[in-house]
Amino acid sequence: MKTLLFLLEKEFRQIFRNSSIIRIIFVMPIIQLIVLPIAADYEVKNVNIAVVDHDHSSYSRQLVQKIIGSGYFRLVENTDSYKKALKSVEQNDSDVIIEIPAHFERTLIKENEAKLLLAINAVNGTKGNMGGAYLSSIIKDFNQDVRTDWVTFPRMNPMPLLDIVPRFWYNTRMNYQLFMVPGILVILVTMVGSFLTALNIVKEKEVGTIEQINVTPIKKHHFILGKLIPFWVLGLIVTAIGLTVSRVVFGIVPVGSLLVIFGFTAIFLLAVLGLGLLMSNFSDTQQQAMFFAFFMIMVFVLMGGLYTSIDGMPEWAKIMTKFNPVAYFIDVMRLVVIKGSGIYEIRNHIFAILSFAIVFNGLAIWTYKKQV
Amino acid sequence: MENKEIVIQAQGLTKRFGDFIATNAITFEVYKGEIFGFLGANGAGKTTAMKILIGISKPSGGEAKVAGFDVYSETEDIKKNIGYMSQKFSLYEDLTIRENIRFFGGIYGLDRKTIKEKTDVLLKTLGFEAEADKLVSSLPLGWRQKLSFSIAILHNPKIVFLDEPTGGVDPVTRRQFWDLIYEASNRGVTIFVTTHYMDEAEYCNRVSIMVDGKIEALDTPQNLKKQFHADSMDEVFHQLARKAKRSE
């Protein structure tokens, strides 16, 4: 026990003396949490649109205005030549072309029907897709307006209109930040837990101080605890900072209990710290450890449901995510922060993470050798 | 050296790495309180042998006891009774002198009061009082080596292992370093030291010279010089080392 105190004292001294670690731990999370959720969301804004208007009627102008007025589009080209519009797509200036044919207004009034051409640049798939979808719904809306203008006496409405109004639960306004912020916080905690621990231990290997430690009668579990506890504490501090930032900057107040969040984070940290330790046992240089950790984090993040929904993944990928601790944590964060789930609802997650913690730490202690 | 209490005993100690035999059945004894020089060219197998003796490497064959404990099964007991100073400087550079002493004292199980007393004595002996709160990284090499040694014997080990402790250190500091070694030896600490400086070999009570994984000579410097009809240990070493087939 006394040995452990000496170890902890030393680790904390070293950590707080190292200004780059302090920056990583305290400044990076704040910046990342502020920047990433705002930049990395799915909401597509600023879709560049080129309008080819052959009609120049009041309707065509109304339609264009409606599109621009939606706030999702930016008019980059208003021309009467399709060629010119296509060119702007080729130069990557526009994402979508809408072509309004000549006599658009006249045909619409006379024949109650008119055709529009939408051409979508699918190089940036998401943007094109979303842009196209927005555009269709705006046109549909415009269609409604026109109908109500003309079918003024709907004594007997020939077309019963069924309108579907979606109602979103838990995140009523489909706020992307509410969705992203808890997830990004998870990544940060994972980084602190695995990266920093692995690098810290491997650095001692590189410098040679670990050899000095290995010739002392220090107990294996003391050494390991001495390494894990400081980063466990730091991980919880990062979580606290993260939750504060998301509250102050994004106004996100967890619906569920903070106690559940911190409790789960504490267990999760045990798992990733064990993983960091395990990685350090298999790397001799910081370079190797970095590469190792980077690879793991990439897979964890991309397969963790932060950006792409796990439900939408193929079956084999879904099975893979069962072995991804980050996926559980992201899920729990969203459940607790957005939906307000309690311990009972996340009990399966807790068991899973506990198992990870036991397996990773068990392997780490087993493979750690006080030998060369 | 009349009452010879054996503190290190090696019997056919061997370490193989695949086909390569780094340490080939070496047999020797080290007595309490002596300064035992463990010599050999680079790659002769000194460091490998030393790593077995300090309990961080398992031998492939043979027997050895250090401070009465077995190198196979009682490595943690060995570690309690020895001090070690490696080739590579291995104190924490981002801690101060005082913090390093405190940390190593602490993990050897000294209590806080003892550590404090020992720190004061140590700083005074080395004349480091003014630098006590400076980071170790700011110290010149010679100072660091003296500090490493002092920390290695802080917990009063029975034996201290020194792996090329004076590499790259200037002659004056080297002399001071050996004064520290003598002082510890006078207090009954056994010194097991490797070196490439033949003048240092002359300071040892007994010297062994390893060539290609085997101990080719082992005796007092005087006797070795007689045996090889040489004027200095340097000449003795050259005669033996010339036979070496392997190099690093």
Q: Are residues A292 and A143 in the same domain?
A: no
Interface test with A, best of B17, B90, B136, B154 (most A CBs within 10 A): B90
**Structure letter (DSSP) for residue B135:** B
Q: Which of A137, A116, A109 is nearest to A44 (CA)?
A: A137
The answer to whether position A160 is within a domain reads no
Interface contact flag, A215 B99, Cβ < 8 Å: no
Work out the average pLDDT over A98-125.
82
Q: Give the number of other CB atoms < 10 A from CB of residue B131.
A: 18
Contact assessment for residue A297 and residue A195, using Cβ atoms and an 8 Å cutoff = yes
Tell me if chain B has a CB within 8 Å of the CB of A220.
Answer: no
Residues 6+ apart with CB under 8 A from B50: B38, B161, B163, B192, B194
Tell me if chain B has a CB within 8 Å of the CB of A370.
Answer: yes
What is residue A240's predicted lDDT score, i.e. its pLDDT? 92
The answer to whether position A165 is within a domain reads no
With DSSP H G I counted as helix, E B as strand and the rest as coil, what are the percentages for chain B, rounded to 5?
Answer: 40, 25, 35
Cα A186 to the chain's mean position, in Å?
10
What is residue B1's predicted lDDT score, i.e. its pLDDT? 47
Radius of gyration of chain B, Cα coordinates, nearest whole angstrom: 18
Q: Which tokens sit at A27?
A: 């400044």
Tell me if chain B has a CB within 8 Å of the CB of A16.
Answer: no
Query: For residue B229, with 0-12 CB atoms within 10 Å meaning exposed, 13-18 middle and 19 or more buried, which class applies?
Result: exposed
Interface contact flag, A212 B51, Cβ < 8 Å: no
What is residue A41's predicted lDDT score, i.e. its pLDDT? 62
Q: Are residues A34 and A58 in the same domain?
A: no
Question: Does the pLDDT at position A27 exceed 70?
Answer: yes
Interface test with B, best of A214, A215, A220 (most B CBs within 10 A): A215
Residue B23 belongs to a domain with what CATH number? 3.40.50.300
Radius of gyration of chain A, Cα coordinates, nearest whole angstrom: 28
Q: Are residues A56 and A28 in the same domain?
A: no
Interface test with B, best of A7, A16, A205, A212 (most B CBs within 10 A): A212
What's the ipTM?
A: 0.87
**Structure letter (DSSP) for residue B129:** G
Rounded to whole angstroms, the Cα distance separating A316 from B108 reads 52
Least confidently predicted of A125-139, A292-306, B85-99: A125-139
Question: Does the pLDDT at position A161 exceed 60?
Answer: no
Nearest to B86 among A14, A211, A370 (CB): A211
Rounded to whole angstroms, the Cα distance separating A77 from A52 reads 8
What is residue A118's predicted lDDT score, i.e. its pLDDT? 85
CA distance A23 to chain B (A): 17
Q: Which helix (H) or strand (E) holds A221?
A: helix A220-250
CA distance A345 to chain B (A): 44
Work out the average pLDDT over A169-198.
79
**SS3 for B64?**
strand
Closest residue in B to A207 (Cα) is B90
What is residue A221's predicted lDDT score, i.e. its pLDDT? 87
The answer to whether position A132 is within a domain reads yes
What is residue A329's predicted lDDT score, i.e. its pLDDT? 92
Percent of chain A having pLDDT more than 70?
Answer: 91
Question: Does the pLDDT at position A130 exceed 80?
Answer: no
- Backbone phi and psi for residue B81, each to the nearest 5 degrees, phi listed first: -105, 5
Q: Are residues A29 and A124 in the same domain?
A: no
Closest residue in B to A19 (Cα) is B94
What is residue B183's predicted lDDT score, i.e. its pLDDT? 93
Strands A47-53, A96-100: pairing kind: parallel
Contact assessment for residue A57 and residue A97, using Cβ atoms and an 8 Å cutoff = no
Residues in chain A closer than 8 A to B91 (CB atoms): 209, 212
User: Sorting pLDDT into bands at 50, 70 and 90, what band is A258?
Assistant: very high
Nearest to B107 among A13, A208, A216 (CB): A216
Please count the structural domains in chain A: 2
Rounded to whole angstroms, the Cα distance separating A355 from A348 reads 11
Range of the domain at A314: 2-40+175-367
The 10 Å CB-count burial string (b at 16+, else e) for A200-222 is bbbbbbbbebbbbbbbbbbeeeb
Q: Which tokens sit at A251?
A: 């106004």
Tell me if chain B has a CB within 8 Å of the CB of A22.
Answer: no
Q: Can you spell out the DSSP letters for A230-256?
A: HHHHHHHHHHHHHHHHHHHHH----SS
- Backbone phi and psi for residue B26, each to the nearest 5 degrees, phi listed first: -90, 140
**Per-residue pLDDT reduced to its tens digit, B14-42:** 999 999 999 999 999 999 999 999 998 88
Q: Are residues A258 and A310 in the same domain?
A: yes
The answer to whether position B231 is within a domain reads yes
The answer to whether position B247 is within a domain reads no
Strands A96-100, A73-79: pairing kind: unpaired
Query: Which of A91, A115, A150 finishes a domain?
Result: A150
Q: Are residues A91 and A26 in the same domain?
A: no
What is residue A34's predicted lDDT score, i.e. its pLDDT? 83
Q: Which helix (H) or strand (E) holds B199?
A: helix B198-203
Residues 6+ apart with CB under 8 A from A282: A288, A292, A367
Range of the domain at B79: 6-241
Residues in chain B closer than 8 A to A11 (CB atoms): none
Q: Which of B181, B182, B244 is nearest to B209 (CA)?
A: B244
Question: Does the pLDDT at position A260 exceed 60?
Answer: yes
Q: Which of A226, A234, A210, A254 is nearest to A370 (CA)?
A: A210
The answer to whether position A168 is within a domain reads no
The answer to whether position B246 is within a domain reads no
The answer to whether position A315 is within a domain reads yes
What is residue A77's predicted lDDT score, i.e. its pLDDT? 83
Parts of chain B with a pLDDT under 70: 1-3, 247-248
Q: Are residues A195 and A300 in the same domain?
A: yes
Question: Does the pLDDT at position A249 exceed 60?
Answer: yes
Please count the structural domains in chain B: 1
Interface contact flag, A212 B86, Cβ < 8 Å: yes
Q: How far apart are the first and last CA of chain B?
A: 36
Nearest to A370 among B56, B84, B89 (CB): B56
What is residue A187's predicted lDDT score, i.e. its pLDDT? 87
Nearest to B94 among A5, A6, A17 (CB): A17
The answer to whether position B195 is within a domain reads yes
Q: Are residues A199 and A325 in the same domain?
A: yes
The answer to whether position A164 is within a domain reads no
User: Sorting pLDDT into bands at 50, 70 and 90, what band is A72?
Assistant: confident
Contact assessment for residue A241 and residue A26, using Cβ atoms and an 8 Å cutoff = yes
Rounded to whole angstroms, the Cα distance separating A198 from B15 reads 31
